[in-house]
Structure 1
Amino acid sequence: MPFALLALALGAFAIGTTEFVIMGLLPEVAADLDVSLSTAGHLIAAYALGVVVGAPLLTAAATRLPRRTALLLFLGLFVLGNLATVVAPTYEAVLASRVLAGLPHGAFLGVGALVAAHMAGPARRATAVARMLLGLTVANIVGVPVGTFVGQLMGWRSAFLVVAAIAVASLVSVLAFVPEVPSPKGVRLRGEIAAMGRPQVLWGLLTAVLGFAGVFAVFSYISPMMTEVAGMSPAGVPVVLALFGTGMTLGSLVTGPLADRWLRPTIYGSLASLAVVLLLFSVAVQHPVSAMAAVVVLGAVGFGVTAPLQVLIINKASGAPTIAAASNHSAFNLANAGGAWIGGLGISAGLGYTSPALLGAGAAVLGLAVALIAGVLDRGNPDSAGEAGTDSDTAGEIDAEAGTDGAGTLPESAAEMSEHR
């Protein structure tokens, strides 16, 4: 399993690099394409749009495919999208290429999370998913800063050529090390869509959209915040991005095991901490040293909620989790676009570069409120008897083979038992 998880994490690394590296290269992109900085910022939203659209659609199209086969197809499309960015001659063509590159993002991470959870077993699902998602966090320690440096030195397009090469390496690794996991027997597209409509799945997706918007309200404008408010030089921006990734990694390492024991409390604690950190960020960013420390903490508390929310949604879509797991990444990218929009509102209104942090804190509080409401409702009214305690990657298989209606008699997983404590 370690090599299989590493192969999946490498794909996540490529995805994380291409998603975030453009934020450090916006001035170069704007200058090369002869557009304004705000217009270049639309490329961030274009990628997010690709994720939002592609996650459910591509996952639905691949419902009956063996999961390793689906992962290979998603990686192939991702490579094409990034190569298209490298050769696109105009702003409009780059915009289209970013949508194309974003299409397989959520589908790969969603199916990859299911494969990781399947290999780890019920008691270590959150830890396995967190380990796979370490690829995203390490991308911000290594991939994004190095990509930003390479893009500044050799032209911004070279960063996406490097991403395409990493994705090819992931494709080869998945083919070599990830076992062929068949789609659960008896699970059909209709069941996957029905699982998406379960109230607790929808509550979880809304939590991701609102809570995570607070992170991206700040991160979308991290470069001008560091240069205009903290007084750092542009050469220091890659260091700041690496610090953010370090925080992300620390948060994922801590919250994965915590979520295996206390799933919902981990989500509550992460969102509450995020709101507090964002409030303090507007003050800390006034000085270079405190700004860098705040960036690390923001990465830790912000991305600490990623794996727990992913596992919660897998649990709540038990028996047909594929589209729901992928749609969680659509939710996070809606948060990406929404956070950039929220932060931009404050800047455009003349409230200064610290205003995105304050507005982001409000979004995190809304996310926490939704999570708490969902927890209260779930305590007295679970969506279905079949959700509690099955290994969501295998429950559909077992139920189909046994001829049950999904109510199931399997013992609860550690993560699911703990969330009801």
Structure 2
Amino acid sequence: MPLALFALAVAAFGIGTTEFVIMGLLPDVANDLHITIPRAGLLITGYALGVVFGAPILAVATANMPRKATLLGMTVMFILGNVLCALAPDYLSLMAARVITALCHGAFFGIGSVVAAGLVAPNKRAQAISMMFTGLTLANVLGVPLGTALGQFAGWRSTFWAVAVIGLVALLAQIIWLPRVIPMEKGNLAREFRVLRKGNVLLSLGMSVMASTSLFSVFTYIAPILQGVTGIAPHGVTLMLLLFGVGLTGGSMLGGRLADTRLLPSLVAMALAVVLTMAAFSQTSHLLIPAAITLVLWGVFAFALCPMLQLLIIDQAHEAPNLGSTLNQSAFNLGNAIGAWLGGVVVASGANLADLPWTGAICGVLTLVTALFFIYRQRQQALRTDGITR
């Protein structure tokens, strides 16, 4: 089973790389396609919206398809999307190729999480999900810096060719290592969407949106903070981001272990830790070593929430785990877009960059409050059920 999870992690690495590497290649893309930087930036927005709106539809459309065939199909779509990006003759073609790749992103992570959780013993489900998400965190540590360097050296199109090769490796790994038959429940369209009427499902998705908003309201502007407040040279920012990536990877594994033992208490603890870390960063960002330590801790706590929230939505949307899990990816990307916008509004208002982490802290408080309300709601439901039983 670890080899099957490794196959999913390789695909996650490629998908994570293709999502974020465009940020480092925007000037190259803009110059080559003769467009402005802001217009090139819409390639990021288009990708996020492709995940938010398209992925749940694709998840429902494939609800009754065999799981292995579905994942292989998503991977083929991923490869095709990156090849089309590499060949795109103009801006609109590149945007369409990015959206095609985005559809694969959300559906693959959503369905892949359900498959990963089903490949292991019940008490190892969150660890299996976190192992898959380790590929996503490693994409930020290795894939994005290397992909950006390759694109700057050999042209931005070379990066998408390289990611397509990663997709081929992931496709072969899944063909070889994923079980031929993966147990699944037959999907029902009405049942799939009926799950959205459940309060606990909506609360779970809300936590994902707010946790992601907290992260990206600050992380989107981390380079200006490190250069303008901490006083780090541009080349030093890469090293700091590498430290942050190490924290992300460790946090994903930690979150998996904690979620398999005490999911909800661990979720509250990590949400609180994010709030405290963000508040601390408003002070530690002025000094190199404290800022570096805070970045590592922030990465640990922020990404420990990912496997926890993914497992939570799978549990709460058990009648439609594929749709629920995919919607969680949509929620994360929606938070990505909201966070980047919110941080931009704060910066444009004239606020000091050193105070921007307070925005992340406030969003983190909303995550924490929602988690506490979720626990309260569950306890009330348990009391009512117990009363009816008696």
Normalising by structure 2, we get a TM-score of: 0.92
The CA deviation at 1:382 is 5.9
Trace 1:241-320 onto structure 2 (pairs within 5 A).
Answer: 241-320=241-320
The CA deviation at 1:195 is 2.1
Question: Match of 1:41?
Answer: 41
Question: Match of 1:148?
Answer: 148
1:336 paired with 2:336, answer yes
Residue identity matched to 2:122: P
Question: Match of 1:410?
Answer: none
Larger helix fraction of residues: 2
The CA deviation at 1:300 is 1.0
Other structure's SS at 1:184 match = coil
Question: Match of 2:388?
Answer: none
Contact kept? 2:270, 2:302, Cα under 8 Å? yes
Q: Distance in 2 between the 1:365 and 1:267 partners?
A: 13
Normalising by structure 1, we get a TM-score of: 0.86
Distance 1:183 1:119, change over 3 A: closer
The CA deviation at 1:214 is 0.9
- Per-residue Cα deviation, 1:328-365 (whole angstroms, up to 9, x for no partner): 10000001111111111112222243444221221111
Other structure's SS at 2:21 match = helix
Distance 1:280 1:22, change over 3 A: farther
Contact kept? 2:251, 2:299, Cα under 8 Å? yes
Other structure's SS at 2:286 match = coil
Residue identity matched to 1:335: G
Q: Distance in 1 between the 2:384 and 2:256 partners?
A: 25
The CA deviation at 1:270 is 1.3
- Per-residue Cα deviation, 1:107-133 (whole angstroms, up to 9, x for no partner): 101111111111112111111111111
Question: Match of 2:215?
Answer: 215
Question: Match of 2:4?
Answer: 4
Contact kept? 1:210, 1:364, Cα under 8 Å? yes
1:231 paired with 2:214, answer no
Trace 1:329-368 onto structure 2 (pairs within 5 A).
Answer: 329-368=329-368
Question: Match of 1:157?
Answer: 157
Distance 1:185 1:360, change over 3 A: closer
Other structure's SS at 1:232 match = coil
The CA deviation at 1:58 is 0.8
- Per-residue Cα deviation, 1:217-239 (whole angstroms, up to 9, x for no partner): 12222233333333333333433
Q: Distance in 2 between the 1:189 and 1:42 partners?
A: 33
Q: Distance in 2 between the 1:188 and 1:278 partners?
A: 42
Question: Match of 2:110?
Answer: 110
Q: Which stretches in structure 1 are left out of the alignment for 5+ residues?
A: 386-421
Q: Which stretches in structure 2 are left out of the alignment for 5+ residues?
A: 386-390
Contact kept? 1:226, 1:285, Cα under 8 Å? yes
Residue identity matched to 2:358: L
Q: Distance in 2 between the 1:132 and 1:384 partners?
A: 37
Q: Distance in 2 between the 1:149 and 1:128 partners?
A: 31
Residue identity matched to 1:141: V
Q: Which moved more, 1:180-189 or 1:122-131?
A: 180-189
Question: What RMSD in Å do the two structures reach over aligned CA positions?
Answer: 2.2
Count matched residues. Answer: 385
The CA deviation at 1:179 is 0.8
Contact kept? 2:55, 2:330, Cα under 8 Å? yes
Question: Match of 2:378?
Answer: 378
Distance 1:173 1:382, change over 3 A: farther
Q: Which moved more, 1:32-41 or 1:373-382?
A: 32-41
Distance 1:10 1:360, change over 3 A: same
Q: Distance in 1 between the 2:41 and 2:292 partners?
A: 23
Distance 1:234 1:31, change over 3 A: farther
The CA deviation at 1:32 is 4.1
Contact kept? 1:67, 1:180, Cα under 8 Å? no
Residue identity matched to 1:202: L
